[in-house]
Each structure stands twice: as C-alpha cells, then as structure tokens.
Amino acid sequence: MLAIDPQGVSFQGQLWEHVRFIVLDRTAQRVIDGYRDGGPNQVFCDVTKRRVVARVVIEATPDLAEPPALGTEGTLVFERAPNASGIGRSRVTVDAVVTAVLYSVSRSGKATQTVELRAVSSDPGEDPVMVSAV
C-alpha cells in the first residue's frame, strides 16, 4: 500500500506533521514449497509467516519532532484518499513497533526522516492492517 500525502498521521496519539509518504510493504517470511513424485513441477506453496513493514517518510523541517525510540510500540493511524476530491477516503490503523529511524538528504538540500515500523497483531490469525471507510 502506498499513501501519498496522507492526512491525520499519528503514532501513539501524537500527530506527525509533514508526512509525504507512507508505504506498507508485505513480504513472506516463510514459504512452504511442496512437490510430488512423478513430475518436476511444484504442487503446493503456502506462506505461513508474513511481515508487514511500514515506512513513514517525513519532510525534515527545523521544528521536526524527536522520533520515538526504537522498540516503541504504538498505533499508527493515517487517512488516505485515491484522489484530491477526498471521495473514497479511508482510515488505516496499524499496531506497530519502531525498528529504524533513518535520514537522507537530497542533492537539492531537502532532508527527510524515515521511520520504519513492523506491524504486529495481537491475534496471529488477523491482519495487522485495518482499513475502514471515513
């Protein structure tokens, strides 16, 4: 999931301003492959361990707030819309743990802060990312 210029971004109830992008990457952490005798082709594949990583890209300004410490757990909330009209806006809620805070500076001198978080779920059978219509 990619949210460009998301609105109302907060973590642990603290509002995060100047957020330019939020990316939610989903990757398989354990893939089970299976074959049967009698042919070369795979007959079974399942993903039994998954990971959702959120990256929040914030434009660095002089008043940039101190980022949360690594290991901090909280709820990341933001709103995204498929177009400028706001029609189809949805709220995304993710319980997550901060795993990295990174900075980069472009040639033009603009700096960004990227906060990386791993989504966690209290129920292993439930998707940690909840999307609801606004």
Partner 1 sequence: MAARFDGQEIFGDGPVAFREEGPEQLVVSGLALFDELFGYAYALGLRDFRVVVTGRLVGSSYSLLDSRRDAFRSRVTEPLTMGQLSDGLGGSWDEMSLISYLENGSVERGREWSVGYSATFHRFQVAQ
Q: Does 126 bind partner 1 (CB under 8 A)?
A: no
Residue at 82: amino acid letter: P
Nearest approach, Cβ of 32 to partner 1 (angstroms)? 6
Residues 39-58 that bind partner 1 (CB under 8 A): 43-44, 46-48
Q: Does 38 bind partner 1 (CB under 8 A)?
A: yes
Nearest approach, Cβ of 46 to partner 1 (angstroms)? 4
Among positions 34, 40, 71, 109, the unique one binding partner 1 when judged by CB under 8 A: 34
Question: Checking phi first, is residue 36 left (phi over 0); if not, alpha (psi -120 to 50) or beta?
Answer: beta
Residue number, 17 or 46, with CB nearest to partner 1:
46
Give dist(CA 123, CA 2) in Å, integer: 25
Among positions 14, 25, 30, 111, the unique one binding partner 1 when judged by CB under 8 A: 30
Buried b (16+ CB within 10 A) or exposed e, 3-25: beebeebebeeeebeebebbebe
Residue at 83: amino acid letter: N
Residue number, 48 or 106, with CB nearest to partner 1:
48
Contact call for residues 113 and 101 (beta carbons, < 8 A): yes
Which residue ranges make up the site for partner 1 (CB under 8 A)? 30, 32, 34-38, 43-44, 46-48, 124-125
